[in-house]
């Protein structure tokens, strides 16, 4: 993923640039990166999961956001755009000049993997996402095959937070997101693995 600026950039400069930009960028420790191109499969998967979650939670206290919703991890000086996020209850925001908001309290973050972003999604982003107190689930969805990983937070008897990992790889299986089951066949509806 190309770095837009090589010099260290402050958060306020990044947000000013992002506010005026026609393309989206992410920010991590003073570096700005341009968002990568999204394939047809990637966008179909995002649309499918946002539709499924939106239908499940339309009358419940959840909000479903697609990839244009900026996410901020306050303890880390990071701003990302996840492929989809789910917020339970009232959303909390980092407000920048009342023009731009970044979500602070997702309960679920979903990323669709690609060759150019998988390393970042599994590494840098996951390292930051784990520091979000409200986060309960992190979902990684492959776009070139039927394969989904779900990381779920649990608390031990000693009150230590640990993340458990689950794998799914069959169309007739369901993953659970915020207590709702979604068939993999619905997540991968109309996806053509021959074109990935």
Q: What mean pLDDT is predicted for residues 56-79?
A: 93
Tens digit of pLDDT for each residue in 72-128?
A: 998 888 999 999 999 999 999 999 876 789 999 999 999 999 988 899 999 999 999
Determine contact, residues 113/38, Cβ cutoff 8 Å. no
Report the distance separating Cα 43 and Cα 131, nearest Å. 27
Tens digit of pLDDT for each residue in 114-163?
A: 988 899 999 999 999 999 999 999 999 999 999 999 999 998 889 899 99
Q: Which two tokens stand for residue 178?
A: 């915020």
Strands 70-73 and 78-81: what pairing? antiparallel
Report the distance separating Cα 174 and Cα 188, nearest Å. 12
Work out the pLDDT band at 32, boundaries 50, 70, 90.
confident
Report the distance separating Cα 91 and Cα 158, nearest Å. 30
């Amino acid at each position: 993923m190309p770095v837009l600026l090589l010099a260290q950039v402050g958060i306020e400069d990044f947000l000013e640039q992002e506010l005026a930009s026609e393309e989206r960028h992410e920010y991590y420790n003073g570096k700005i990166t341009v968002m990568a191109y999204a394939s047809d499969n990637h966008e179909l998967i995002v649309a499918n999961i946002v539709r499924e979650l939106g239908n499940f939670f339309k009358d419940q206290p959840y909000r479903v956001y697609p990839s244009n919703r900026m996410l901020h991890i306050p303890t880390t000086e990071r701003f990302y755009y996840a492929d989809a996020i789910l917020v339970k209850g009232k959303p909390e925001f980092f407000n920048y000049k009342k023009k731009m908001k970044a979500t602070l309290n997702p309960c679920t973050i979903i990323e669709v993997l690609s060759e150019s972003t998988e390393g970042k999604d599994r590494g840098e982003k996951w390292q930051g996402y784990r520091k979000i107190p409200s986060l309960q689930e992190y979902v990684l969805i492959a776009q070139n095959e039927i394969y989904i990983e779900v990381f779920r937070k649990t608390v031990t008897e000693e009150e230590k937070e640990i993340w458990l990992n689950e794998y799914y790889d069959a169309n007739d299986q369901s993953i659970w997101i915020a207590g709702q089951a979604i068939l993999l066949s619905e997540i991968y509806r109309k996806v053509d693995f021959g074109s990935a």
